[in-house]
């Protein structure tokens, strides 16, 4: 089972190998791709123009409570990287500008950058957001475009309800499997005790 992460989502969208774009061979003459998280509503991903001089342009938002979102790390006006919640330091978690999950990348640079993406992070995943740091390392420009209304960056109520329903289904399935495992372990212990009793009786 390949590890989860944005790498799988991107690979699936481009019909590359289902492991990660970092391990795929893609044509280099593709148009500049715009990507966004599947759970965002259409209203959350309006048409927008990327900076033609930038290797990547990110749609960002400033939230009063940014918990759970990737934070935009800047140096002045320059975007340095995107750090995920689980990888962020206390100082980075205090940042309020977040990644909405909507990007415009320059091709073929994005495909070249993805070949450098690894899994050295808290979740052991391939992060599409690591392309931003790769662009900076290559001396390329990265732009951020803040949305006027942060609510545009949030998932639709329908998507949120669907997520909650799916989580409850997974929790029920996990509970069922845990109970089945506990019952199997109890039966195994019981069978060993019965076998020990019979073996002792035969020995006498």
Task: Give the integer Cα–Cα distance in Å for 144 and 109.
Answer: 18
Question: Do the beta carbons of residue 142 and residue 78 sit within 8 Å?
Answer: yes
pTM exceeding 0.75:
no
Torsion of CA 7, 71, 149, 154, to 10 degrees: 50
CB atoms within 10 A of CB 85: 16
- Low-confidence residues of the chain: pLDDT under 50: 1-26, 38-47
Are the beta carbons of 20 and 117 closer than 8 angstroms? yes
Closest by Cα among 139, 49, 123 to 83: 123
> What is the chain's length?
204
Q: Which runs of consecutive H residues, i.e. helices, occur in 40-119?
A: 90-93, 109-114
CB atoms within 10 A of CB 40: 19
Reading phi first (left if > 0) and then psi (alpha if -120 to 50, else beta), residue 101 is in: left
pLDDT at residue 168 in the model: 82
Q: Which two tokens stand for residue 48?
A: 């927008």
Q: With beta carbons less than 8 A apart as the criterion, state whether 85 and 93 touch.
A: yes
- Classified as helix, coil or strand, 107 is coil
How much is the pLDDT for 13?
A: 39
pLDDT at 162: 67
- For domain 6-153, give its CATH number from 3.40.50.2300, 3.40.50.1000, 3.90.550.10, 3.40.50.2000: 3.90.550.10
The predicted-structure confidence for 53-100, as pLDDT tens digits, reads as follows 788 888 899 998 898 889 999 998 889 999 999 999 999 999 999 998
For position 165, what pLDDT does the model report?
78
The pair of structure tokens assigned to 9 is 């989502």
Percentage of the chain modeled with pLDDT above 90: 21
- Cβ-Cβ contacts under 8 Å for 156 (sequence gap 6 or more): 40, 41, 43, 44
């Amino acid at each position: 089972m390949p590890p989860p992460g944005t790498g799988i989502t991107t690979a699936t969208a481009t019909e590359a190998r289902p492991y990660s774009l970092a391990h795929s061979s893609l044509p280099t003459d593709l148009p500049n791709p715009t990507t966004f998280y599947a759970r965002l509503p259409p209203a959350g991903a309006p048409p927008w123009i990327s900076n033609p001089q930038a290797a990547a342009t990110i749609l960002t938002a400033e939230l009063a409570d940014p918990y759970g979102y990737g934070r935009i790390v800047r140096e002045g006006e320059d975007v340095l990287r995107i750090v995920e919640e689980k990888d962020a330091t206390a100082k980075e978690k205090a940042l309020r500008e977040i990644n909405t999950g909507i990007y415009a990348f320059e091709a073929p640079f994005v495909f070249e950058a993805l070949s450098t993406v690894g899994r050295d992070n808290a979740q052991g995943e391939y992060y599409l957001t690591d392309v931003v740091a790769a662009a900076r390392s290559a001396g390329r420009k990265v732009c951020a475009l803040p949305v006027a209304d942060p609510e545009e960056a949030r998932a639709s109520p329908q998507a949120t309800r669907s997520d909650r329903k799916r989580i409850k289904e997974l929790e029920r399935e996990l509970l069922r499997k845990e109970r089945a495992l506990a019952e199997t372990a109890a039966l195994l212990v019981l069978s060993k005790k019965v076998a020990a009793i019979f073996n002792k009786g035969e020995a006498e």
